[in-house]
Structures are given as structure tokens and as C-alpha cells.
Structure 1
Amino acid sequence: RISVSAEELLSYPLAVTIRPPNLRKVLVQLSGRQDYAPNVECESPFSLMSVVLSSDAIGICGAYSDVFLYAKGDLVRIEVDELAQDQDALYTRYGIVSRSSTRLSPLAQAMI
């Protein structure tokens, strides 16, 4: 694993997927700015991989993304010195929402 400072990270163009939604908050904290928008936003991790492999952009995606498998060693994971791994904003939480008048499927029931 490679480790860089936040300043070094932010000196490169950043390409991100639309998830996680908390990413903008983390980038604002790292940059010290009031708002921070990435240079490129991609719908899928595979589009992101294509952008990163054909440019000098640094890609930000989920740690368990399949792109690392498909990149076959062409991508490396970078850790940011000032970024605590236990920071709540790094994690996305999902929930199940249903209408009260609708019966849940067996799969939805099993997930609750």
C-alpha cells in the first residue's frame, strides 16, 4: 500500500463514482474548503477504472469494488495519512423501506 498526504492527493485530478454519498464531506474536510467537487464523476466503477487507467487522475471508489480484480494489478490502493479509517463519513449505510400497506416478499422478510 502507498501512503500520501491529503495535500498530495488533492494536487491530482480526482475521479469518483457517485457512491459513497459522504465522499464530498470527507473531501471538504481534507481540503479545508467550504465545498469540494471532484473533477470527474462516473456512474459505474468500471467507467472510473477506464478514466484512471487513461489519465493522471486518482480514482476514489469503494474499497471492495470489483475493479481491483479486473485491473489485474494496474491499480494500487492509496491511503491518505490524515484520514482516519474509523471515520463515520467513510461508510455508507443502507436500509429497507417498504409501504405499510404492502406485504413484503420472502427475500425482504429474510433481510430484516
Structure 2
Amino acid sequence: ILIGEKRFRQQSEDPRTSPSHQPEAGITPSPSPRPRSPDDLEEGEVEEVCEICTPPSDVLVVEGQVVEPFSTDHAQRLIGQIMVLNAQIDRMQEQIDSMRYRLDSMQQEMKNMIDVLGRI
């Protein structure tokens, strides 16, 4: 399987880019040798097709939206949600404990049956 090379746009070509956002000299994609055809590869052999290097200036920065200030109403809603979730967790824990007790009882009953069968 051959994977195509991806070429990154050089920031210096973009007139909107300020000089402070130019890529550093040491961060440039290294050219990779041309890949061999699949017929030239041995079974199980892996060949690196290309190296992709993203300079920091190619990273997309998304600014967050302005959020309204946190209010007492927000806090009350969050506390209410926490209480509901906590009650659900408590019910689940009780169910788990009940099932664990039942499982232990069933295991003990099976051991007793096996002991009885062993005496026969």
C-alpha cells in the first residue's frame, strides 16, 4: 500500500502571516526517498513512505466563545445535578452489594452440593 505525501504550505508564502509566526529554520519536513513499488517489497516488510512534520506555525488556534459569568443559578443547577447523580450511584451500589451477596450465597450452595456428591 502506498500512501501519498502531504505537503504543508510554507507560512512565508502567506502574506497575512507576521514575521513572528514564520517557521523556524530547523523545523522543515525532510524529503523522503521515492517509495518502492509493492512488488519490490518482501512479504511483511514495511517501508516508511514519508515523514510529516508540522511546524508550530501550522497549528490552527481556535479562540473560545465568550461565556456569560458563572452565577448562583448555575451553581444551584450543578449542585442539583450532582445530587441526582449521587443518588443514582448509591442505588447502583446497593444493587451491586445485593448481587454480590446473592452470588456468594449461590457459590456456597454449589460447594455444599459438590461436597454431597463427593460423599456418594
Shorter-chain TM band = under 0.3
Q: Which has the higher contact order (CA 8 A, sep 6+)?
A: 1
- TM-score, scaled relative to structure 1: 0.19
- TM-score, scaled relative to structure 2: 0.18
